[in-house]
Amino acid sequence: MSPIAFIYGPMKSGKTARLIGDFYAFSENHRAMVVRPALDTRSPDDKVKSRNGSELPCAVFDSTEALAQQLDINQSEYLLVDEAQFLSEDAIMFLVRRSLSGLRVRFYGLMTDYRGATFAASAIITRFAGQLDPVFADCHCGQPAQFTRFTGESNGRTIIVGHDEHYFPVCTKCFLEAH
């Protein structure tokens, strides 16, 4: 198993449900921990919640120092990072270095924003991940969806937190037709 994996897909593709399942699988034989960068505010601070209703405790960090502290306190062998597209380059590189001394890192997040541009963090993670694992949602047309469409008011922003009702997973054809 590669020390670094990136599990990526559009909004509503079941990434968090996958994370929760992976956590239980790793926890059978290893110390595992779930973390999330502080930018995302959709869930309560100390939990990751999937759309099917399951949830897990989650440590939220706002700096690489805080992340390092959490890792040392928990002595984790497996680190599962939710909302990885919001990570700083500094935090990613810290985890890449930690993976050289045995830490297994699983990143879960979006590859592209609603305009189809790759998130800066996701591009860096992709560069270092030995395992790339795309997950797909269902487009309304029935095809596998790898993009996310945003139907609300963006006002030029790249990251719009919350407003889940305005995000829809779409296939390549439907994504291109909407742009």
Q: Which residues bind to Zn ion, rule: CB under 5 A?
A: 139, 141, 143, 171, 174
The number of residues in the chain equals 179
Minimum CB distance to Zn ion smaller for 111 or for 125:
111
Are the C-beta atoms of residues 79 and 97 closer than 8 Å to each other? Answer: no
Minimum CB distance to Zn ion smaller for 61 or for 175:
175
Residue 127: exposed, middle, or buried by beta-carbon count in 10 A (0-12, 13-18, 19+)? exposed
Minimum CB distance to Zn ion smaller for 110 or for 171:
171
CB of 166 to Zn ion, least distance (A): 17
CB of 136 to Zn ion, least distance (A): 11
CB of 141 to Zn ion, least distance (A): 3
Minimum CB distance to Zn ion smaller for 11 or for 171:
171
Closest Cα partner for 146 from 111, 120, 98, 108?
111
CB of 175 to Zn ion, least distance (A): 8
Are the C-beta atoms of residues 141 and 162 closer than 8 Å to each other? Answer: no
